Structure formats: C-alpha cells, structure tokens
Structure 1
C-alpha cells in the first residue's frame, strides 16, 4: 500500500502523520526504551496540543534480536490469534542502555539500536554493537500513521467505523542491498522493486499470490526482519521510496523484530528459528519417491496396483503412495470415507500394498472444508463445528465444494471431532496426510467460536492451526519422529510441521523456474523441507520437461510425482503402451526416473545427516540458496536457477530440451559428480547434458558419506552404516561430517582423515 504520490505529495485518498520528534525517552529495566514521538516538532508547550503521538518501543529480545513496536491509540484491543513465539523457550539476554554524544543506545548482545541525540531529527540506527557494521535505520518521516479516507479534523474519528487506520514504518535500504524470503514466492527472487501483500491465496505458481505468506525477510546486508502479526501486511520494497522498505498494517499497532547474524545469514535463520520454531524430524522413508493417483484421473484399486507394480518392475520403486481427492465420493469432500465403488476394501488394499512391498507407506488427501452433500456436514452443523456468518448462518459458498462449510478450528470440540475423523483413517492403515487448501479463509461477515480472535488475523493463521492439529494427531498415532504431512498453506511457525510443497504449477520450463524460485524463497523464510509436483501439475508434460523435472525433483528434499488430469507414471509420458519404447531406451522417462531415484537413495547417508543439522539450525536442506553458503560473494544473492542440497552439493537444473545450461561456481574447488573432474571457481560455466545428468558438483573440503550403489532392496530406510562409501575432496583442516543411521541417530563422525565412532558402537569404516 502506497501512502504517497511520488516524493512530494500525499496520496489523494490518505491523510498521513509522521513521527517528527523524539520528545521523551523512557528506559525500562535496562531492557527497553520507550519513545514518545509527536507528529510535529515540539518547540513550546503550546505545540503539545491537538496532535497525535506515536509510541515507539525498542526491546532487547535475545542476543542479536531487538523488537520495535509502534502504537498510536494504545487502548485498542489486542485481539488474537498471535504467533506462538519461542516454542522451545526464550534465551536469556543481558541487555544494556547507555548514553553518549551519539545518542541513547539499547544493546542486545551483538545488535544495538541508537536513538539520535537531536530531539527534532527522528533517527534510530540499527548497527553491530561493536560498531563494525551499519545495518539499517529509521530516519526522517519513516514512522507514521494514516487515515483513509483522509480526515480534516481530529473530531471526525469520534466514529471510526467509516475510516481505515494504518501504521507503517520505512527502514533504509543500502546501495546494492537485496531482499529475499517472505514465503513461497514465485516471482523475482530479489524482492527489491516489488509491492507484496502477505495474504494467503490459492493463486498457483504463475502469479504474485502465494499459498505461504511468511512475514520474514532476509537482507544481503546480514540482517533479517520478522513482522509479528498474522494479519494482512502490505510491503513496498523500494517501490514507494526507492531507498526504503515500507511495511504497513491496518490497525493501531505494528511490531517487528530485527535479527542480526554477525557470522552471516545462516545465523539470522537460526535466530529466526528460535523465535518461531524449527522443523520436526522426518523419517528416512519420507525422502523416497512419492507417487500419486493424480487429481481428476479415473482410478480404482486395479489402477493403483498396476501403477505400483509397473514402477517396481522398472526399478523406480515407490516409497509412499498417495490417494488424491477422489478416494472419496464426489461432492463428499471431506467425509473421510473411501468410495466403495472404487475401493470396496480400503483396509485390505492398503495392507496388500504394504505386504507386497509395492509401497512402504500410504498417504491420503484431506482439506478443512465440508461439502453439504456429505452426511458429516449436517453433523458438524448440529454440533456447532462450522464457522458462522455474523447473522448466525453457517458460512458457506460454492467455490471448490458445493455449499461447503469450514471447520471452526477455534472450537476445541470441533478440533477433537476432526482429530477423531483422522484417527479412523489411521485405523485402516493410512500413514501420512496431504493437508491441502486452508488459504480460502473468510475474513468478512464471519464469526468464529472464539470471539476473541480477529477474522482478518485468522485468514493466514488458520494454516498454522490446521497443520498443527493434523501433525500432532499423526505424532500421537505413529510416533513423534514418524509424523509426515504434505501441506500447501502456511504462515510463520508452520515450518514446525513438515513438510510442504509448492502448489499448482504448469508443465512448462517457465513453471519449473517458478517452482525453483518458490523453493528458494521458502527456504530463506525458515522452512527446512520442501517439495514440488515433478513434471508440473497442470497439463501434460512433454517427455523432455518430465525428464528435466525428474532430475531437479529428485534432488529436492522430498520428491513427488503428481498431476492434475493426467497420470505421472513415466511409461505413459513417452510410450504409447508398455511394449513401445523411445528411440534410446537409456534416455526414456522410465530410465531417467530410475537413475535419479537410485542416486537419491545412494545419497541418503548424506541427506539424513544434513537434514538433522538443517532442521536443528533452521536452514533449508534443499532448496538452499547459494547466498547462504557464500554470503560474501555478491553474485550469490542473485542466483535463482541453482541451489545447494545441504552444505556440499551444488545443483543447477536444466531448462532446455537440448541440454544447454549455464550456471555459476562460487569461489573454491568443485568436483563434477559424473566425471570426477575438478575445477576452480568463481566462474560461470556452460555445459550440455543428456537427460540422465545435470550439473551436480561436490564442494571442496567435503567428506561425503554415501550408500553402496549395489545395496540390496528398494527402501530408503536401509542400513547404510555398515561400511559406507566415503568421498573426500580437497580436505581442509576443519573438514568434518557426521554419519547418522536410518533413524537419524548419530553413529559417529569424520574429522579430516579420522573416523570417530559414537560411544558404545563399533564401526570399521
């Protein structure tokens, strides 16, 4: 939202008042500073009358983190819901307040905020406590309030019902600074120049809307900002004033945290994870290949069995099979009952799938809506489990499902009822759940069971409660470290309930690029695990797109074949029937899929160790932006067509049928996975790849544990600790790596040439 018309004029539909003065500074317990900021400069007692003031409170949160809260009318109710901050406890802090000729300084470990000494020149600088680095600042006319439509007299706000009231702040952007994150965004990787609204929408991957709006961004200058509200946030990122980043909310308060990481952006993400939470541990089986029925395809038990048998026979075994929406009857979503016409014996079928080894686990699709054709709709209405309109009617519409209602997740009884529905699925053998939708949450003409919540704040926050409920029920049944969901909607904190995928994309190279940008952005927003629809969701991918996407998708943290109205089993992509093959069988969709499934399976010792490290630290496993590994390389902050898997593997997907690809190798030594040829960076590299390879490089200094190429069995949950293969490339004094087992428990670690087993376990590797 823009409040000005260029530099000189105010927008015609707004009245804007700025914090012009710092009239008073009140310290509180060496932990906080409260600034009283009139909206005009005060030179005499008469200047204190008939004007608004803004309260600006700076508080030391923990080392390297300071919060900033701006308030106009402090008597406004503080309605929920609020983010669950510090889920594992708040760290201790030893703050200090000092005064000097430079002003009044609040320090919180490595980060300080200094309020300028001139009362009439509003200024708050954020900098390293040792003054080694300037991060950003709130300067002249950077904090303010606005009315729309514009008021001409303070008396008009006697009745606020016809006015919108906003709070905004604008912090400085440095020359060359770039901004990243803000959730799973599919547009430009660098957000400078963009206007962004943090409001969950089902808009696909080819729009400026996002399923996962996360109020956190990361700056190339070494700091991050977390905006502490699930409400709609409007950002102008160098797009209203080119030198400033503006965030605004409708209401009387705006609170955000500035997070400093002296060692780099990884430290910023770790501190953000302390604030909002880190991902749960995922089991090894979840890293294997997921295959779905696709969305609107016509399938039954025979179809499912045929596909699973075909995948196994073609050496592309499925770890998880997913039943998408039509496992239930049409118009009955979501009543949790298998269609008897298509699946007469679901419990028996699931048991047969597992006993035959065709898939290790089974997942089914759910959403938080109830179509009125389903018997459970009437039950939910009678018990008061659905969201209502202001007049007492059940809130319904015909978008997606006919007459659908929404489960009122603020009602404890409704949550318990929904959990019981899920438990019945577990009773028949379901292991995992795809928590689809959760973005289309009403924010007007709606009344929640808990009337203390603000409907606008509930819009984004619903995704958190929805996924938390499902995740905790999965943990209850299957074990704390065996819970896996596949979520589409998210907000801050939802990273605690892994995992998520990128939503509906087309079957084009442009859509693959969109998906990669989305994965990079969500990774810089605190999410460790991420997936996408291999081959694209909408449309029918041509064979070359399918194969290029397979190579990319099997190097994401999680890998799923999923489509809309067409199947994604490989032989249906480039073969007319099971007996016809492509001109070169080694380049067929089947062969390419089989090769990359086996590659990922071989990488499991590395992936599991990196997954545990990444989730503990709040880092993305894959897709990890190059800038996280090379923050001092300016080029790294603009790379949106390549990524890291963990610390040590660089991947550059191929977007052309011909196989031509250009990518960047950062400083250091790099080993080509396929040719074993070493090369030195920094430099741009051009290569040409057939469908069985893509640029995959091992970083110098790496100790890379691998599973055996000829390991028996198909499962990703195998014992790779018995004499694993270990690659060591250009080792350095600090080179080290952990070895974990298939349960994620540490077995031991390497330090350069030394193997150190964990206590109580022997290993001769």
Structure 2
C-alpha cells in the first residue's frame, strides 16, 4: 500500500491550529490612562513587557459597543452596511477598579490593573467578561489572557458552566459550538463531515445574552472551551483586533444587532420558494426539455430548472466563459421561451474562475481584470482542479462592471437566476487591484463575487437572487445559499441540516441543501437509495428553499420508482399549498426573523433547545422533525405550548419529549396550538395563477383573541381569531369571496365553516 498516497489523500483542516500559535505571547497587563472624546473613549494600556498599545471603545448603538485593539482604528470596514449606526448617547463613570462606559442598555467596565473588560446589561447582570486566569495548578495557561504576539491578536473570555455558543457560519457539527475548535478560513469543504467550511461568519452568539462580531476578514481561529472548560478564545492573524459586543435577551435580538451592523437580509422573489430541479448536469437542450415536460406530466410542482456547467463552451466543472455552447443548446433564447411557456424559470451555473484558453481570459488579462501573481508578470492561478484557472479581481470596480455585464447579457436573454458556485480558492499569491493582501481578501472574496451577481440580477430582473455556496459576514444581504456537497447518506443528511441551521444562527434568513445528497459513497456516481431520497425530500420540501441536485445520477423523483414518486409529489404539493404561509413568513426576514430556524431561536430560555439540532421551526407555527432512518421512530422535543400532529390532529402539551413512529410516507410535522395556516390552491408552479382562493386551517389554542397578518407582494391581509369554551370566530381580510375554514380537533374530524362566521364546537 502506498503510504504517501494515503497521507496525501487524508482530509485536512482549513487552516491548522499551528498557524495561530504565538511564539512569544504577551498579555494586556494594565491601563495607563483614558481620555473621553465626544464619540469614543481612548484607552492607553501596556502589556507585560511594558509596551504601550491603544484601545478604542466606541458606543455605536445603545445595545452595541465597538472595541478596537491595536493600530488602525480609523481603517474602513469591508463588512459593515452603509446604514450602520455610528453613535449613541453614553456616559463615562470612574469606578473603584477602573472606568465604566454606560448607555441605556449596557455597561462596559474597563478594569485598570489587571486589565479586563466586563459587559453587563442595564440591570447590572454580567453577560461577558474577559478571562485572564485560565491556568492549571502549575500556573500554566490553557488560554493566554487577551493579548498579542508577532502577527497575532487574540481575545480570551470566560465560559460559564451552562453557557452554550452558537454561530460562526455554516458548520456541520453540533449546533452548540462549545468544546469545538476550528479556523475561519473559507474553503471547498469537499462534503459536510468535517470542520472545513464553505461559509464562515465571525459572529459568536452566547446563551448568556451577548454576541461578539469580529469585524475582520483576516484568518481567525476559534478555541471554544476545548482546551479548557473555563474559557473561549479567538485569535486573528492580524496586527489589530476589532470587535463589536452586542447585548440582548435571547438569540433574536443578538442577530438583529448583527443586522444593524452588516445589513438586514433581502427577501428573494416569491417563485424562488417553489421547487428547483437540477443535477450535474443536463448535457443538452433535449434533455432539459424532456425533464420539463415529464415534470408537468407527472404533476410534480416545479418552478426552476437549473443547468450546471454544460450549458457553456468550457464545462470542466469549476470554471467557464459565460458563453452558451450552442451545439448542445441551440437557440438558447428560444429554449428559455419554451420553458417559460411551461411555467419554468432557468438557473445557470457560473464560477469566478476563468479558463486560461478562453477569450474571456485573454480579454480580462489585457484589461487588467484578473488577479495578478505577486511573483510578477503573470496571472495568479487557481489550482486543485483538472485545469488551472484565472480569477476575476472583484476589488477592481471596472472588473466588477465587466463581470456584471456578462451576467446581464444572460439575464436579459431570459435567465432568472445565477448559481454562484465556488470562490473559496483565491490563490495565495494573488495581488488585488486595491492592494488588499491575499490573506485578508480570501474570506471576503466570495462576498464581493456574490454581490456583483446579485446586483446585476436586481438591475435586470427587478429582484435580487443568487444560489450561492460560499459566504462570509454580510452574505444575508445576497440570498440564497445552499450547503455544498453532502454525501448520499443519512449521516450527511443530518449534517446538512445542522449546517443550514448553523448558517441561520449566523445571521442568514434563508438556506437550502441538495435533496438526496450530491455524491455517492463509496462510488462517486452512485445515487441515493429511494428511502434516503424520500426522507431528504420530506425535509427539503418543508425547508426554506427546496432543490434536488446530485452528481451524475438523476435526481428527478420518477427515477426512484414507487412509492418514492408518489410521496415526493405529495410533499411537493403540500409545499405549494403552503406558499401563502411561507412567503408571508419570509417577508419577516427584514425584521430579523428567518423563515426556518432552530428551536433555540424562538425558545432561548428553554435550556433543552440549545442542544436540539435535528428539528426546526418553519415559519411561526410549524415544527418539523425529519426522519434519518427509512422506517421506525424518533424522539421529538416539543417546546412549551400546545402542539397538533399535522397528520392525525392528536394534541400534545409541551415542554416534553415524545416518541414518534413514522413510516416512510410520514414526516413528523406539528402545528402550534392557536395557529391559523393559510393554504393556497393546487399549483404546478408558483405564479401559475392567483393564490386565491385561500382556505384556513385553524388549530385552536387557549381561549382568547389573537391577531395575525398574511402578506405577499400585492396585499396585506389582517385577521383576528377569537376562541372561547364553546365557539370560535375567524374574521378579517379583506377578501372578495367567502373563504372556507377548517377547525382541527383531537379525536374528531375538523369542523367546517366560513371566514367571518362563528363556529360552535358542539
């Protein structure tokens, strides 16, 4: 056996921990002086070698305070929104141990000697505190106190015994990051089984009511209580550390604070919430049209057909020239029109990498639009694929416009959306037009790429939308993102869900994954089993966005025979019936409420939810508990309140665990007591016709009156549900027709009534 070959093929971390190990660590020892200015507090401190360093403390909002340690506090951010808050009323107090910066919502104490930051809420409850004494009996440090070394800066904070940590991007392990350690260095993860990540977001959320956003693009390393149970530490390969401390009661206000800094999520168009069909890839026009016609023949609702690289002249799978291969796809404009007539929109694959033997490379190099190599003269090359490629320089405004124009030409032809694949492989020797070092540009590069395509799509089509794989802080402004390349196993299915929920807890509002898995194990081209395909489809069709995709083998539901086709159709039809509910919930993303989210988002005070990463809420009133086996049962946690089994109307009262038996045709699905689900008509695609007539599925809760809204791009409907011991009344609208309602009851068939009329229980 070739040992060297085995070593070469061993999976590697994105960046080794050794890249972040200080050789001569120094701690911040004490504060020498402070000086209050109108918008900030300037602090002069010294380390344990008596070297002076500057710290700037700047309240930017009543719930957010910025701390910049080291040189360059005036450097502009590459990550913040143009609408970022820049100041809040604050006061400085001198305390027995140092100083305190106070706003109406927080208090940041700066201890003089030894130096330490402490963050408390307005009531004085301590949320965050630095940890300078994480030592063993010998005095050796598990985590060095906050400090610096050559080329490194780090922050060390205390971990409380029951504290849980969330966020940091799309990672596939346990949702609670406590006990984990990994780098923030965006890479092709080659799957969903390791700590390699397509999407990193330097936002750490704590169950103790604080968040830390590191406003940095440099490589970071997170050590989250792995070396010691008493502290977490974040190390940056940089000459400074810039972070924002956010206070809030629960996950939702912390993420809203992050959105204050980096921008609110955009909401994609309503049809994007329909089903997308894809594979790698459809090779010609005849194949695409055959799939489209079969979809309609089989009555499987679908809105989008995606074409992977084979639509282009260069289609090795990682780069392209954005020009149709008209031998395989003759008259592409005519094909787009034909698909439009069948109710389909088209998504096209692209990459920021340019084939070296293409006209696009020649033009881009001549005009200075491609990344240059620091070795001088030539291009910086992307390696790791069958052929090397050049990379578009998105720090050059003219290059951005050049790339956008190539996308506009496709969009103006009738393409609906671009799949912005890759961007994790910026060459280490790249020299950017704006002078940003490659190591600082690496994590940022996907964001610049996706922003260009998102903006071009909005300029042409009137809406912003991409289908992206990589990402960084601020990517929520450019949805939608999917979870890369999972294997065709139940383990990868569960990991894909954890990755998507982790992405949501990192500030995103929408997410997806490849239904069925992308690649076979151990044979790359093997399809998923019919049972895995069904289980993944049930989860995917009741998620934020739904796309079936895979390597080589078909992902169309009829390829998996019966009963897979019938089960798939049933859940696809359910998704389309739920579109009024789903899209109305999606519109709340701008207020910081993601469409799909883990239980801890809604129930932060319930400690059990911190460890539930295989269930999720879909909108305000549906709880989904996917099955990760073909048959059998699973434990389901139901949070506080009443819950109806969607299929049987059996009612449960939480908080509690239940054991749920589910045959292959059944996905455990629950409706919150007190909910009203607005259901639309049967559709084959989202905009086939009006969403009317609506019907309303009512799941009574405790006696009382509740109000709720139902919105789309054309109207805002308002309803009131009144329930007492004997009757209920659902009223509101306005609607131009008599809408039917059904009132669900445990152990009895639903009662049928009409909107605006009282219905009696007996």
Structure 1 residues 256 and 455 mapped into 2: Cα distance closer, same or farther (>3 Å)? same
Structure 1 residues 94 and 2 mapped into 2: Cα distance closer, same or farther (>3 Å)? farther
The answer as to whether partners of 2:132 and 2:146 remain within 8 angstroms in 1 is no
The match for 1:725 is 696
2:716 to 746, 751, 764: 746
The answer as to whether partners of 2:573 and 2:683 remain within 8 angstroms in 1 is no
TM-superposed CA distance for 1:734, in Å, is 6.6
Q: Does 1:14 align with 2:7?
A: no
Matches within 5 A, 1:420-439: 420-439=405-424
Q: Does 1:215 align with 2:202?
A: yes
Q: Does 1:267 align with 2:253?
A: yes
TM-superposed CA distance for 1:240, in Å, is 3.2
Matches within 5 A, 1:619-630: 619-622=593-596, 624-630=597-603
Structure 1 residues 137 and 18 mapped into 2: Cα distance closer, same or farther (>3 Å)? same
The match for 1:455 is 438
The answer as to whether partners of 1:103 and 1:115 remain within 8 angstroms in 2 is yes
Q: Distance in 2 between matches of 1:721 and 1:92?
A: 47
Q: Does 1:521 align with 2:536?
A: no
Q: Distance in 1 between matches of 2:240 and 2:342?
A: 58
1:364 to 345, 348, 352: 348
The match for 1:194 is 180
Identify unmatched segments of 5+ residues in structure 2. 1-14, 134-143, 521-526, 723-728, 740-754, 756-762
Structure 1 residues 174 and 667 mapped into 2: Cα distance closer, same or farther (>3 Å)? same
Identify unmatched segments of 5+ residues in structure 1. 5-9, 41-49, 148-163, 575-581, 583-587
Aligned residues: 699
TM-superposed CA distance for 1:56, in Å, is 2.6
Structure 1 residues 282 and 712 mapped into 2: Cα distance closer, same or farther (>3 Å)? closer
The answer as to whether partners of 1:300 and 1:343 remain within 8 angstroms in 2 is yes
TM-superposed CA distance for 1:89, in Å, is 4.5
Structure 1 residues 724 and 740 mapped into 2: Cα distance closer, same or farther (>3 Å)? farther
TM-superposed CA distance for 1:350, in Å, is 1.3
Q: Deviations over 1:519-568 (max 9, x none)?
A: 11000000001010000011210000000000000011100010012110
Structure 1 residues 331 and 673 mapped into 2: Cα distance closer, same or farther (>3 Å)? closer
The answer as to whether partners of 2:282 and 2:307 remain within 8 angstroms in 1 is no
The match for 1:315 is 299
Q: Distance in 1 between matches of 2:167 and 2:421?
A: 22
TM-superposed CA distance for 1:724, in Å, is 3.1
Which secondary structure state, in structure 2, belongs to the residue aligned with residue 460 of structure 1?
A: coil
The match for 2:387 is 402
The match for 1:32 is 40
Q: Distance in 1 between matches of 2:475 and 2:621?
A: 27
TM-superposed CA distance for 1:714, in Å, is 4.0
Q: Does 1:600 align with 2:575?
A: yes
Q: Distance in 2 between matches of 1:712 and 1:530?
A: 23
Q: Distance in 2 between matches of 1:504 and 1:497?
A: 20
Structure 1 residues 633 and 245 mapped into 2: Cα distance closer, same or farther (>3 Å)? same
Structure 1 residues 344 and 748 mapped into 2: Cα distance closer, same or farther (>3 Å)? same
Structure 1 residues 738 and 449 mapped into 2: Cα distance closer, same or farther (>3 Å)? same
Q: Distance in 2 between matches of 1:538 and 1:415?
A: 33
Matches within 5 A, 1:105-504: 105-116=100-111, 119-131=112-124, 133-140=125-132, 143-147=145-149, 164-203=150-189, 204-262=191-249, 264-292=250-278, 294-295=279-280, 297=281, 299-330=283-314, 333-357=319-343, 359=344, 361-390=345-374, 391-400=376-385, 402-442=387-427, 444-451=428-435, 453-479=436-462, 482-504=463-485
Matches within 5 A, 1:36-55: 36-40=44-48, 51-55=50-54
TM-superposed CA distance for 1:630, in Å, is 0.9
CA RMSD of superposed structures (Å): 2.4
Which secondary structure state, in structure 2, belongs to the residue aligned with residue 236 of structure 1?
A: strand
TM-score normalised by the chain length of structure 2: 0.87
Q: Deviations over 1:94-129 (max 9, x none)?
A: 22222344642212331211123xx33323211112
Which secondary structure state, in structure 2, belongs to the residue aligned with residue 373 of structure 1?
A: coil
Q: Deviations over 1:591-641 (max 9, x none)?
A: 11111111111111211111011x11223211x010011111110000011
Structure 1 residues 99 and 597 mapped into 2: Cα distance closer, same or farther (>3 Å)? same
TM-superposed CA distance for 1:15, in Å, is 0.7
The match for 1:660 is 633
1:637 to 610, 622, 626: 610
Which secondary structure state, in structure 2, belongs to the residue aligned with residue 214 of structure 1?
A: strand
The match for 2:643 is 670
